[in-house]
Homo-oligomer: A and B are copies of this chain.
């Protein structure tokens, strides 16, 4: 485990606020050790920093009450969705109250004519898509986990579909937010576009609970395409695969998904899901459109792939075969873990201009060798975003330190290529030094916004901004 920074605790304030919350929320206020630890960080190598209490509101008004109580007593408020964030976002380095949105999980409205819906933050992406299926609609953003929409909004998440459908920033129309003083605001109306003042919606998307707590989300939806076809194609090298991706994007093929697996990843997926894929770098793709359109896209991609040495190109519109392929991709994380039982999986998240992707992946591979680490690479390559999953024995201090070096050096390489240390996981606790490296003076203006909105720094302290 990597030590996380601890911040000074306001013991008096915490004691007082906990007393008031306990009286007000009864059974929906919990302080048991195990429930608190479940609400601290668990999915990464960052140590668990549990909150002092967990409260389960049922409404925006209750969230406002909680925040008002915490504001008066200057007690940290840490929003919690389902806890699948990867950079320590739900940890409580100064203690405080975790606000678990799990009981605010209602789909409040689906406006099928307008292709939008309004949901509470505890709704998960799978729950939403199950609800939408009968209406011929879907919500495209799909991070690996079955994350909550609130959490996805707060971390500006994306996933495999971002190349076509964008990230959360592109798919949130409006938000209801409880601000650090307990005031409830709406950031925008439900119209599809607006030039009305500063874009508070986009400011809140990706703010990781540090500027306010999101209590309602209006999302864009997509009509389910008439046809979907999936394809995969093997390449002689990661570079050749990246070249094919660039040509595909430039050609204007509106690929819905285009994912790269390196050789080690293909081996892991083969072993886990028994797919029998050729064990060389692989692109997995999906095309959405009309029946003729999706077929044409697949065929055109096939031609491009062959130009770059692609072999074994196959595509299918058969739903069962498609699902088998994408299930394997979504189970990738578990497949990688099985390649080194007992090791922890630690995912990097750099994103670079596509033209630099092959170079950046090559650098990652060199560093893995140099630092004698086991790492598998998978990428949302249409966006230039890739994850190295390091498989680390966290009991081995030297290996853990080498893994930390890897993360640090890869982030530096990506930043030097005009890229970012995080394409979709967010800054949290773990990436704060890299944010400063990446954006330098701009981070002072982020801090100025934080201070203007939350002068007592009660909203998820110790995240995004360096102390």
Interface residues on A, range: 35 or more
The listed residue (B189, B205, B354, B434) touching A192 by CB distance below 8 A is B354
B353 and A192 form a contact (CB under 8 A): yes
A:338-362 near B, CB below 8 Å: 349, 351-355
Cβ-closest chain B residue relative to A211: B198
The listed residue (B114, B211, B443) touching A355 by CB distance below 8 A is B114
Question: Do A222 and B423 contact each other (CB < 8 Å), given the known contacts A169-B202, A183-B441, A351-B194?
Answer: no
CA distance in complex: A353, B202 (Å): 19
Proximity string of chain A (90-118) to chain B, C-beta cutoff 8 Å, 1 when within and 0 when not:
00000000000000000000011111100
Nearest-Cβ distance from residue A424 to partner chain B, whole angstroms: 5
Question: Do A418 and B156 contact each other (CB < 8 Å), given the known contacts A446-B197, A448-B453?
Answer: no
Instruction: Kindly name the residue among A156, A250, A355, A446 whose own CB sees the greatest number of chain B CB atoms within 10 A.
Output: A250
Question: Do A354 and B114 contact each other (CB < 8 Å), given the known contacts A200-B446, A202-B203, A223-B249?
Answer: yes
B351 and A169 form a contact (CB under 8 A): no
B290 and A196 form a contact (CB under 8 A): no
Question: Do A442 and B156 contact each other (CB < 8 Å), given the known contacts A111-B355, A195-B425, A422-B195?
Answer: no
A156 and B195 form a contact (CB under 8 A): yes
Query: In this assembly, does A25 line the interface, its C-beta being within 8 Å of a C-beta of chain B?
Result: no
In the bound complex, residues from chain B placing their C-beta under 8 Å from that of A197 are 206, 427, 435, 439, 442-443, 446, 464-465
CA distance in complex: A156, B192 (Å): 13
Question: Do A423 and B193 contact each other (CB < 8 Å), given the known contacts A185-B441, A252-B225?
Answer: yes
In the bound complex, residues from chain B placing their C-beta under 8 Å from that of A399 are none
Query: In this assembly, does A188 line the interface, its C-beta being within 8 Å of a C-beta of chain B?
Result: yes
A:143-174 near B, CB below 8 Å: 155-158, 162, 166-167, 169-170
A113 and B198 form a contact (CB under 8 A): no
In the complex, 5 of the A-B residue pairs with CB atoms within 8 angstroms, ordered by the A residue number, are A156-B199, A189-B420, A194-B422, A198-B464, A445-B453
Can you add 4 more A-B contacts, CB < 8 Å, to A198-B206, A200-B442, A254-B289?
A114-B355, A166-B170, A183-B441, A197-B439
